[in-house]
A and B are shown apart, each in its own frame.
Chain A
Amino acid sequence: MFHIYCPYCEEHREEEEFHPKGQAHIQRPADPEACSDEAWGDYLFFRDNPRGVHHELWVHAVGCRKFFNITRHTVSYEILETYKMGEAPTVTAKSVSEKDKQAGVQAATGGWQTVGARPESEALNDASNQGARV
């Protein structure tokens, strides 16, 4: 259950009031007739599925009924920012990774069971383990 700041109502509301509408900033080609089938197919069907920062379109369906954008981290589910239609995000995958780099934060590589542990893949490839498993 997300707690979402609606940039139009200017307060946080419960997720029940909102509908997610997919990836944000998908623009309809200005001249559809000039699009190749492939380009049109991309517009219709193809979406990003990043591990990390993602910009999403939502609507405050049970509320002001306004569409707006959410920048959300798909691993932590943290909402990094919400902004109105027509505005550009200030938090992006690039800005986040730069900030992390400056702060010396190690980027997660996935699959770690506990903080400070080696990734499974690395542990499994360890020569001493290979020996032990025989």
Chain B
Amino acid sequence: MSQVNRLSQGGRIDRSRQLHFTFNGKPYVGYAGDTLASALLANGIDIVNRSFKYSRPRGIVAAGAEEPNAIVQLGSSEATQVPNVRATQQALYEGLTARSTNGWPNVQRDLMGMVGKLSGTFMPPGFYYKTFMAPASLWMTYEKYIRKSAGLGRSPTEPDPDSYDHINQHCDVLVIGAGPAGLAAAVTAARNGARVILCDEQEEMGGSLLDSRELIDDSPAVQWVDRVIDELAAMDNVTLLPRTTANGYHDHNFVTLHERCTEHLADSAPASGSRRQARSRMHRVRASQVVLATGAHERPLVYANNDVPGNLLAGAVSTYIRRYGVAPGQKLVLSATNDHAYRAALDWREAGREVVAIVDARANPQGDLVAKARTLGIPIITESAVIEAKGAERVSGARVAKIDATRFTVAGEVEELACDTIASSGGYSPVIHLSSHTGTRPTWRDDILGFVPGEVKGLTSVGGARGVYPLDDVIRDGIDGGRQATQAAGLDANAVTGLVPQVSAREDGAACALYQVPHLKPSMRAPKQFVDLQNDVTAAGIELATREGFESIEHVKRYTAMGFGTDQGKLGNINGMAIAARCLHRSIPEVGTTVFRPNYTPVTFGAIVGRHCRDLFDPERYTALHQWHVEQGAEFEDVGQWKRPWYFPRTVNGKKETLHEAVARECLAVRERVGILDASTLGKIDIQGADAREFLGRVYTNKWAKLAPGRVRYGLMCKDDGMLMDDGTTSCLGENHFLMTTTTGGAAGVMEWLELWHQTEWPELDVYFTSVTDHWATMTVTGPDARKLLAELTDIDLDKEQFKFMDWREGTVAGVPARVFRISFTGELAYEINVQANYAMHVWTALFKHGEKYDLTPYGTETMHVLRAEKGLIIVGQDTDGSVTPEDLGMQWAIGYDKPYSWIGKRALSRSDTRRTDRKQFVGLKPKDPKVVLEEGAQIVFDPNQSIPMSMVGHVTSSYYSPTLGHGFALAVVKGGHERMGETVYLPMVDGKVHEAEIVSPVFLDPKGERQNV
């Protein structure tokens, strides 16, 4: 049985190109130009899914983005799985493989359907809240089963073979939607010289004109479409983006467009020659002006069993017949409230199928299309509606009755008409989703029975998007909107003449308001009347919600799930509001609408991520010595965005050292001989100006007035709340010239901090800051043999009296101009050599050439941490967390209490909170068991026998095993710790063990600093 519903002629498909595809494992054939939905309908597939909550069989309802049921999983291989694809928006391609996303084990024979039948009664709105929330601990159990039956597909478990792209666009006028209004707006703006982007979500541009019966300039409307697109395509100032959905409308006219570059061709992007192309592309558009030409979505009527396959939107019926040559049934009943919907009956009849009746809710319909239907002898039943569909897996009949919409009652006898298809139309809702993304509220218009976009700066709505429906008005509106937008973008917009085409005249009668169709039984007892098919929300559910006291539409939405998820209220929102309004005895605008949110249709993660993935996920910053580290087999650690060598494992007897072994070896090498560290990542800021010294005095806690050229000082930087934010050394290069160093992670923040104070509080100070972090490479040579090694390579006098601890000198090292700083982060004799980064590798390798005889050992950040911790030297961000003052650290020696200017952080140190004696203070911890290395982050208590929850008095900030000391040791903050030296504290662990430790000085090694001062 192939393509039973395909008409013998018509449509914009290419019948000479057959395409093979599978759906739920079965092979089918369609044509080029089909969507997956039109191909499924052509092949007579009624059931495409099972519903979300009740597991009812569902068929295709719509022909566009508003489709609630036909949501499929694509992909022929595991790596190319794509969930959440609307069959109505997916072009058919050779080999397309699709599956239903719901239905277990399959859509035809659904086990969960049995549950659905039972649970229908048990799953009223709020069911999840009421049933599963208590006890909360059981939710995990329930969830597994619910998830199995629910959800809209699954993500692939293998890496995606495709690449995705982002591109930044700027334009004067972005036109969203290439139907009649959008085309007219775009060509108007373009002819006036504006930079124009025109995007449209469909495979072809043209919008409603692609299935229109109307004539423009006496020929079929599509010929006008072709002419306009040809003109636009030839213009340099125009970018045409078909297959591109405007998914998010963000602040200040920033719009994200999602272009499906190859998704209509294959599962995975075909290569173009040897060059890779992106599967999709996110356009990040900054538009001076946006023209919203998104048209309108048809509203279905809400009647009993309106979800049985064979219930379609009237407009969708027309689209499938006229655009795809598919008539999705044999016998049609049309239930309508407006003239435009009559097209479905006329197209059905022209396709050679039987129109059983048109059921019109109006008393006396009178338009041109109505007259045409009458002429064709199609029975029209007035003041009536389809109140219930019959059938289980496909419509078998329509129950029709006279209704009284105002009293919400059935007003006459019920007649059952045999049919297999019911098309309904309750009017049109302008597609206002994008304008709502901006946060603006839409405005209700009684004359068009719909919401139109609220006011957004820089936005012009045209055509159906603002409730203008007759084609000639739409085109004129598009031209006007295009002109307005061009002018608003600051361009002259008078170049356009003679554009307005002639449109065949058509008189439409007035529509009437009908949302939920009354049934003989009250909503609660009538067969289900679905409002939101994707989320299985019924009219009865909304009624129940209002009865249970939910009066705000936002609450009703959350209680019932109406308009949730990927649907975002496209099909059912207005109907749902109308029902809530009826129940609450209010008008629709009083009830209001929920907020539509980005994205308009689902977007794959790939498209969002673009190229920012894999090794381009985040910048990796390298020092000038990176290649050497890699070649030495270093293990790396991320420090901010930097890749720093963590440790340098050696291979001993064919076995690679562990972290612990390598660090022990590196530590001893520094303590006993000499080691070298790449410290290039430290932030470095060159400071020049007559007031540089004064400035330093204000941003550091300690004194800078007397630091002489050639000297270096360690400084602490606080925020004005008195909490430490960064530390580092600053060297006096000249009387008005300093070089500040910052922590690796703090570099950018400190630079901005200095500029903040200079620009906002002290602009009168003459000082300039320039980052030189990347200019200098820094190598720390440290250990007892450091002087001997450096002496072999430098012309600087290294004599301990000439070049003291905390001095710096300039000269050459290995023939390269260098500044050498005698500062130590290890507690050993140390020289920090700074050379211009381009020469770093030369100097570094020269050091190793000469260092061989001293067993010069490269060490990484882990060893650096151990060595500094043995000396009680802090690392900002590890031992501090933004709640630690210099006093808490016991660093009163670095606080200039008597400096004349009230430096940043000073005042805060005398607040009552910072004066508390029970503040957490920085101490050392010596575990009683020398083999124990405490866990970083472990909580500290004074009394291990107290009941749980225990009163926690601090935590471990740093903890290591010291190969030098031969035992584990830690740094910690403990309440009142400075006064508790020698006391025992306890660290209860998760496994029930309780460690004991003694509070000691944080300086574990060489408290007098003799080793670094040699």
Direct A/B contact, Cβ within 8 angstroms: yes
B373 at the interface (CB under 8 A from A): no
Q: In the bound complex, how far is the Cα of B908 from the Cα of A37, in angstroms?
A: 8
Which residues of B have CB within 8 Å of A123?
586, 590
Judge whether A28 and B720 touch: CB under 8 Å.
yes
Q: In the bound complex, how far is the Cα of B723 from the Cα of A45, in angstroms?
A: 13
Q: A-B contact count, CB below 8 Å?
A: 103
Which residues of B have CB within 8 Å of A31?
902
Q: In the bound complex, how far is the Cα of B551 from the Cα of A19, in angstroms?
A: 40
Report the minimum CB–CB distance from A116 to chain B (whole Å).
Answer: 6
Which of A15, A67, A120, A128 touches B759 (beta carbons < 8 Å)?
Answer: A67
B335 at the interface (CB under 8 A from A): no
Judge whether A40 and B552 touch: CB under 8 Å.
no
Which of B451, B755, B908 touches A67 (beta carbons < 8 Å)?
Answer: B755
Which 9 pairs across A and B sit closest by C-beta, in order of nearness?
A113-B592, A32-B907, A3-B252, A1-B254, A32-B902, A115-B443, A132-B585, A67-B759, A117-B589
Judge whether A19 and B908 touch: CB under 8 Å.
no
A47 at the interface (CB under 8 A from B): no
Q: In the bound complex, how far is the Cα of B286 from the Cα of A14, in angstroms?
A: 9
B752 at the interface (CB under 8 A from A): yes
Q: In the bound complex, how far is the Cα of B594 from the Cα of A74, in angstroms?
A: 20
Judge whether B444 and A116 touch: CB under 8 Å.
yes
Report the minimum CB–CB distance from B576 to chain A (whole Å).
Answer: 13
Given contacts A61-B752, A114-B442, A115-B454, contact A129 B585 (CB under 8 A): yes
Judge whether A114 and B761 touch: CB under 8 Å.
no
Q: Tell me the A45-88 residues at the B interface (CB within 8 Å).
A: 45, 57, 59, 61, 65-67, 75-79, 85-86
Which residues of A have CB within 8 Å of B752?
19, 59, 61, 65
Judge whether B251 and A85 touch: CB under 8 Å.
no
Q: In the bound complex, how far is the Cα of B551 from the Cα of A123, in angstroms?
A: 10
Report the minimum CB–CB distance from B368 to chain A (whole Å).
Answer: 33
Report the minimum CB–CB distance from B255 to chain A (whole Å).
Answer: 10
Judge whether A85 and B907 touch: CB under 8 Å.
no
**Count of chain A residues with Cβ under 8 Å from any Cβ of B?**
45
Which of B252, B286, B585 touches A128 (beta carbons < 8 Å)?
Answer: B585
Q: In the bound complex, how far is the Cα of B909 from the Cα of A40, in angstroms?
A: 11
Q: Tell me the B221-236 residues at the A interface (CB within 8 Å).
A: none
Given contacts A3-B252, A117-B590, contact A124 B902 (CB under 8 A): no
Q: Tell me the A1-22 residues at the B interface (CB within 8 Å).
A: 1-3, 14-15, 19, 21
Q: In the bound complex, how far is the Cα of B590 from the Cα of A15, in angstroms?
A: 36
Which of B552, B585, B906, B912 touches A120 (beta carbons < 8 Å)?
Answer: B552
Report the minimum CB–CB distance from A85 to chain B (whole Å).
Answer: 6
Report 6 cross-chain contacts, Cβ distance below 8 Å, ordered by A residue: A43-B720, A76-B440, A77-B251, A85-B760, A113-B589, A114-B443
Judge whether B286 and A77 touch: CB under 8 Å.
no
Judge whether A114 and B253 touch: CB under 8 Å.
no
A118 at the interface (CB under 8 A from B): yes
Q: Tell me the B35-67 residues at the A interface (CB within 8 Å).
A: none
Which of B253, B457, B592, B907 touches A33 (beta carbons < 8 Å)?
Answer: B907
Q: In the bound complex, how far is the Cα of B906 from the Cα of A35, in angstroms?
A: 12
Judge whether A44 and B902 touch: CB under 8 Å.
no
Which residues of B have CB within 8 Å of A44?
720-721, 908
Which residues of B have CB within 8 Å of A114?
441-444, 451, 589, 592-593
Judge whether B553 and A116 touch: CB under 8 Å.
no
Judge whether A28 and B911 touch: CB under 8 Å.
no
Judge whether A120 and B551 touch: CB under 8 Å.
yes
Judge whether A129 and B584 touch: CB under 8 Å.
yes
Which residues of B have CB within 8 Å of A116?
443-444, 589
A41 at the interface (CB under 8 A from B): yes
Q: In the bound complex, how far is the Cα of B755 from the Cα of A65, in angstroms?
A: 8
Which residues of B have CB within 8 Å of A78?
457
B439 at the interface (CB under 8 A from A): yes
Which residues of A have CB within 8 Å of B254?
1, 3
B250 at the interface (CB under 8 A from A): yes
Which residues of A have CB within 8 Å of B442?
114-115
Judge whether A57 and B553 touch: CB under 8 Å.
no
Q: In the bound complex, how far is the Cα of B759 from the Cα of A57, in angstroms?
A: 12
Which of chain A's residues has its CB closest to B911's CB?
A37
Q: In the bound complex, how far is the Cα of B592 from the Cα of A115, in angstroms?
A: 9
Judge whether B286 and A85 touch: CB under 8 Å.
no
Which residues of B have CB within 8 Å of A32?
902, 906-907
Q: In the bound complex, how far is the Cα of B191 from the Cα of A121, in angstroms?
A: 50
Q: In the bound complex, how far is the Cα of B759 from the Cα of A44, in angstroms?
A: 19
Which residues of B have CB within 8 Å of A27?
761
B241 at the interface (CB under 8 A from A): no
Judge whether B763 and A86 touch: CB under 8 Å.
yes
B500 at the interface (CB under 8 A from A): no
Report the minimum CB–CB distance from B749 to chain A (whole Å).
Answer: 10
Which residues of A have CB within 8 Å of B439?
75-77
Which of A14, A21, A79 touches B756 (beta carbons < 8 Å)?
Answer: A21
Which of B451, B589, B759 touches A85 (beta carbons < 8 Å)?
Answer: B759
Q: Tell me the B445-501 residues at the A interface (CB within 8 Å).
A: 451, 454, 457
Which residues of B have CB within 8 Å of A1?
250-252, 254
Which residues of B have CB within 8 Å of A77?
251-252, 439
Which of chain B's residues has its CB closest to A29's CB?
B907
Report the minimum CB–CB distance from A56 to chain B (whole Å).
Answer: 13
Q: Tell me the B903-917 residues at the A interface (CB within 8 Å).
A: 906-908, 911-912
B107 at the interface (CB under 8 A from A): no
Judge whether B908 and A85 touch: CB under 8 Å.
no
Given contacts A77-B251, A116-B444, A120-B551, contact A3 B756 (CB under 8 A): no
Most buried by B among A28, A35, A43, A128: A28
Which of chain A's residues has its CB closest to B771's CB?
A65
Which of chain B's residues has its CB closest to A14's CB?
B286
Which residues of B have CB within 8 Å of A65?
752, 755
Q: In the bound complex, how far is the Cα of B253 from the Cα of A15, in angstroms?
A: 12
Which of chain B's residues has its CB closest to A43's CB?
B720
Given contacts A3-B254, A118-B590, contact A40 B286 (CB under 8 A): no
Query: Chain B, 713-733, contact with A by CB distance < 8 Å: what is the 0/1 string?
Result: 000000011000000000000
Q: In the bound complex, how far is the Cα of B441 from the Cα of A117, in angstroms?
A: 11
Judge whether A113 and B593 touch: CB under 8 Å.
yes
B591 at the interface (CB under 8 A from A): yes
Given contacts A59-B756, A114-B441, list 14 more A-B pairs with CB under 8 A: A1-B250, A1-B251, A3-B252, A44-B908, A45-B721, A77-B439, A79-B252, A86-B763, A114-B443, A114-B444, A114-B451, A117-B590, A123-B590, A129-B586
Q: In the bound complex, how far is the Cα of B442 from the Cα of A75, in angstroms?
A: 15
Which residues of A have CB within 8 Å of B585?
128-129, 132
Which residues of B have CB within 8 Å of A40?
907-908, 911
Judge whether B760 and A67 touch: CB under 8 Å.
yes
Query: Chain A, 98-118, contact with B by CB distance < 8 Å: what is the 0/1 string?
Result: 000000000000001111111
Which residues of B have CB within 8 Å of A2?
251-252
